[in-house]
Amino acid sequence: MTTKKENSSLASSVIWTPTTIQEALAKKKEFGADACFISGGTLLQLQWENGNKVPKNLISLQLIQKMQGIEVERDHDCKVLSIGALSTLATCQNHSLVTMERKLLSEVVKHIAAPAVRNQATIGGNIAGRSGDVIPALLVMDAEISLCNKVSSLKKSVWSWLKDKEDQQDDLLTQVHLPINEQERNMHYFYKKIGRREAFTAAIVTVAGSMSLNELGELDHVRLAVGGGDNLPHRLKATERLFKGEKLSTVTWKEVYSSILKEFLPTTDAFLSADYRKKVAAHIIISELQELVFPSLK
């Protein structure tokens, strides 16, 4: 049952507390642009403090049980680690299933905000903001998300969701899905977040990558993703293709570097130029890939 509470700290807003996904969607349909979903609220609070308008209606998701919990499920013939969107970043960092099956996610959230914030902020909120530091890591893990709206529910890759230009304000992100298969056992990952102060400010640039070697000794399943600040995280697809069929000894690193500079199109802001962000991302990716390929270099 949906309940209504007046919010003393946000005097002009009303907080609604639905207990099911259907009730939450009904409230969003009822109030439209005058409402938004809220869980941990850490990102929204920051946006409001920076002058963004506070909606008249806040639809709290905290009581929705179906958006909580972490478990391993079966999806056809594959195992999937399913994470409820209301799972806090601290839970994602420390949960035994995450550390055992998808350790990269556990490592990533250590670099997001301060411990007190991680205890409140949710993985769903970090993703829904479309610029969260966790997104590049999800992209290289081929993550999917479950979405519900007033018309339908569907599952789609994080990559395709980010590319979708349609209005998604009414979509409710309910779960995150990370595939688990035998190939993953042979995957190598990296993640780097570079910021003026690592935990407390928006990242200058965030990069993530994955790769493995096939039975012929060729680089396989190479995934590279970048983000940071207000830049929409995305895969570096053209750069990834440069590794297809290559062996460790045949990679042309100068070509890889040039491709990253061409493909990564960050914004310039009051603090840093786009060119600087490009070069930082390229240097990190090259360094991390070479470390995966040639561990003795470091």
pLDDT at residue 167, rounded to an integer: 62
Class of domain 67-182: alpha beta
Using an 8 Å Cβ cutoff, are 233 and 162 in contact?
A: yes
Question: Long-range pairs for 146-152 at CB < 8 Å and ≥24 separation?
Answer: 146/173, 146/174, 146/175, 146/176, 146/177, 147/171, 147/172, 147/173, 147/174, 148/21, 148/25, 148/172, 148/174, 149/25, 150/25, 150/26, 150/28, 150/29
State the fold for domain 186-297: Enolase-like; domain 1 (3.30.390)
pLDDT at residue 215, rounded to an integer: 86
Is pTM, for the whole model, over 0.75?
yes
Neighbours of 283 (CB within 10 A): 15
236 CB burial (10 A radius; 0-12, 13-18, 19+): buried
200 token code pair:
């407390």
Instruction: Please state the separation of Cα 254 from the chain's center in Å.
Output: 29
pLDDT at residue 198, rounded to an integer: 47
Helix, strand, or coil (residue 112): coil
> Per-residue pLDDT for the chain (298 aa), expressed as one digit of tens each?
666 654 444 557 899 999 999 999 999 999 999 999 999 877 777 666 666 788 899 999 999 999 999 999 988 888 999 999 999 999 999 999 999 999 999 999 998 888 998 999 999 999 998 989 999 999 999 999 999 998 889 999 999 999 986 767 789 999 999 999 777 777 899 999 998 654 445 688 999 999 988 888 899 899 999 998 888 999 999 999 999 989 878 999 999 999 999 999 999 887 889 999 999 999 999 999 888 766 654 4
Q: Where are the domains of the chain?
A: 3-65, 67-182, 186-297
Q: Let me know if the fold of 3-65 is the same as that of 186-297.
A: no
Which CATH number is associated with domain 3-65? 3.30.43.10
